């Protein structure tokens, strides 16, 4: 979830619900964020300096936090990309091994 959230923040700053919708849209519905989990990730990313937030007045309703990514957050996303590419390679190898093992000799 974290890399998808960072990618959404690179595209545009936003409120939690906006970011959840952006992640779902960017992944064609493959990743549907849990709102509570998304806010926990945002709070952790903010405390670690990867995102910043500011309070905005709501048009109708209470204030809401708007989140944006920092330069360190962009570097973290680059790290995630490398990690995910390594995982994809490992999964491709495992898929090939499983296919080979399940194929008739």
Q: How confident is the model at residue 105 (pLDDT cuts 50, 70, 90)?
A: low
Q: Cα(41)–Cα(37) distance, rounded to whole angstroms?
A: 6
Total domains, the chain: 1
Q: Cα(7)–Cα(80) distance, rounded to whole angstroms?
A: 10
Give the dihedral sign, CA 6/56/65/51: positive
Residue-level pLDDT at 27 = 95
For the residues 24-42, what does the mean pLDDT come to? 96
Percent of the chain with pLDDT over 90: 88
Q: How confident is the model at residue 76 (pLDDT cuts 50, 70, 90)?
A: very high
Give, as one character, the DSSP assignment of residue 50: S
Q: With contact defined as beta carbons under 8 Å apart, do 39 and 20 qualify? A: no
Q: How confident is the model at residue 52 (pLDDT cuts 50, 70, 90)?
A: very high
Q: With contact defined as beta carbons under 8 Å apart, do 35 and 51 qualify? A: no
Q: Cα(71)–Cα(51) distance, rounded to whole angstroms?
A: 9
Beta bridge partners of 14: 67
Query: Strand runs (DSSP E) across 1-105, as ranges?
Result: 51-56, 64-69
State the CATH number of the domain containing residue 63.
1.10.10.10
**Two structure tokens written together for 57:** 């007045």
Q: How confident is the model at residue 104 (pLDDT cuts 50, 70, 90)?
A: confident
Residue-level pLDDT at 25 = 97
| pLDDT score of 59 more than 90 | no
Q: Which domain holds residue 67?
A: 2-102
């Amino acid at each position: 979830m974290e890399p998808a959230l960072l990618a959404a923040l690179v595209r545009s700053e936003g409120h939690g619900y906006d970011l959840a919708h952006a992640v779902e849209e960017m992944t064609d519905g493959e990743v549907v964020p849990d709102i509570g989990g998304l806010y926990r990730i945002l709070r952790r990313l903010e405390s670690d300096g990867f995102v910043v937030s500011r309070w905005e007045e709501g048009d109708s309703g209470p204030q809401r936090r708007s989140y944006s990514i920092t330069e360190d957050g962009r570097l973290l996303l680059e790290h995630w990309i490398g990690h995910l590419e390594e995982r994809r390679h490992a999964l491709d190898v495992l898929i090939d091994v499983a296919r080979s093992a399940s194929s008739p000799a």
